[in-house]
Amino acid sequence: MKTLITNAHIISPGVDISGGSVLIDGTRIAAVLYPGAPLPEADKTEDAQGAMLLPGFIDIHSHGAGGCDTCDCSVESIRTIADCKMKEGVTTWLPTTLTLGTKTLMQVCETVKEYAASPSGSKTPGVHLEGPYINPKQCGAQNPAFVRPADIEEVMMLNAIYPVLYISLAPEMPGALDFIAQATAAGITCSAGHSAATHADFKKAKAAGLKHLTHFCNQMSPQHHREIGLVGSGMLDKDIRIEIICDTIHLCADMLNLTFTNKNIEQMVMVTDSLACSWMPDGPGQLGGLPIIVKDGVARLESGNLAGSTLRYAKGLQNVWKITGKPLCELVKATSWNQAQSLGLTGLGKIAPGYTADLVMLDDNFDTMMTIIDGAVRFKA
């Protein structure tokens, strides 16, 4: 089946075409057409009426939405979250775990595997293990009762159930460097998070294979003029990719501006770190067995610590665009292309011939009008 999207404002890495058209043939993009070009025949035509058309977002760090959590160990919960993410324009999502016991993590992998066999919303090519191999002094909203040393055998067992694509861990903890080297050799992307690592620790971890920093600035060693910590490492290093929550709460607007101004856009990865309370009204909730409260859309533990976000993906992009003034054709590298490159998700992250037709259409307020996954319209507002 061929679908033609006409009169679209096409925004892709390095590409900004007003009034363009995109031809989809089956699951792939067949052609990108400039204004005035002859339009090919198609079985179905969608008039974008000037709306923005972007590569589908890839959220590599999201725990939940719609009242459901990845660690509910329920296929129905995974389906609910995936449907919410799809409505945000997220076409690929890594269900993200918490610091919990081995049995629970096994059940998560089993349920994601079951969902992936018949997906209804966002695609789930693998999982993100956030913990349990973190620094107990940097738990944040993670449950310290389940913190344990890095265990490659545990991860390989989980990976055998369903692919573990991404792991957040504290590289300064005993055994972490060997773990990073082994996980990297197995094709798993390692990220430093919930960590008190020094810059020297960071350099050792990077040499072992570390590729990312998890939710930049949050629950990581801060920058100081006598020890730059992980925050300084992320700003200084030219290769490390950094996850960044762009809700203006986890990082204030000035810090977002500072980071996007001084860090190469190819190293930026926008995430939501959304919780079950995303897409839900304010009120009490749970995160990994710990009580949280959501007030004015901000989720916190009883201690006052931030506990993830209620951010909807496109709103993060809108925030950064307004704060930095950078062109969207550059910023979209951080919404899908960089993620695809880092995790080896071939054919994703661009609107170009031959790429998978994973697309999101946004209005001027960055609200999702349409989400296309594998060439099929899966959501329409």
* pLDDT for position 171: 98
pLDDT in tens, 235-270: 999 999 999 999 999 999 999 999 999 999 999 999
286 pLDDT tier (thresholds 50, 70, 90): confident
Q: Would you give the DSSP letter of residue 288? A: T
Q: Are 257 and 326 in contact (CB under 8 A)?
A: no
Check whether 283 has a pLDDT greater than 80: yes
For residue 148, pLDDT over 90 is answered with yes
User: What angle do the packed helices 102-117 and 152-161 form, to 10 degrees?
Assistant: 30
Joined tokens for residue 133: 């191999």
Judge whether 87 and 366 are in contact, CB under 8 Å: no
Average pLDDT on 173-182 reads 98
- The predicted pLDDT at position 88 comes to 97
Q: Has residue 272 got a pLDDT over 80?
A: yes
Residue 304 has pLDDT above 90, yes or no: no
Pair 217, 255: CB distance under 8 Å: yes
Rounded to whole angstroms, the Cα distance separating 135 from 45 reads 53
User: What gap in Å lies between CA 144 and CA 38, rounded to an integer?
Assistant: 61
pLDDT range class, residue 287, cuts 50, 70, 90: confident
Residues 173-191, mean pLDDT to the nearest whole number: 98
Amino acid 297: pLDDT? 87
Average pLDDT over residues 147-161: 98
Query: pLDDT tens, 55-91?
Result: 999 999 999 999 999 999 999 999 999 999 999 999 9
* Buried-exposed string 303-336: b where 16+ CB fall within 10 A, e elsewhere: eeebbbbbbbbbbbbbbbbebbeeebbbbbbbbb
- For residue 308, the model assigns a pLDDT of 81
Residues sharing a CB contact under 8 Å with residue 80, sequence separation 6 or more, in sequence order: 65, 66, 67, 68
Q: Which helix (H) or strand (E) holds 52?
A: strand 52-55
Which residue in the block uniquely carries the two structure tokens 């992009």? Answer: 317
Give the helix ranges, DSSP H, for 47-90: 75-87
For 219-242, the pLDDT digits (tens) are: 999 999 999 999 999 999 999 999
Dist. CA 203–CA 323, nearest whole Å: 31
Give the three-class secondary structure for 224. Answer: strand
Domains and CATH numbers, the chain: 2-54+349-380 (2.30.40.10), 57-343 (3.20.20.140)
Least confidently predicted of 155-159, 197-201, 304-308: 304-308
pLDDT of 109 higher than 90: yes
Asked if residue 121 lies in contact with residue 345, where contact means CB atoms within 8 angstroms, the answer is no
The DSSP element (H or E) to which 61 belongs, if any, is strand 57-62
Taking a C-beta distance cutoff of 8 angstroms, is the pair 316, 246 a contact?
yes
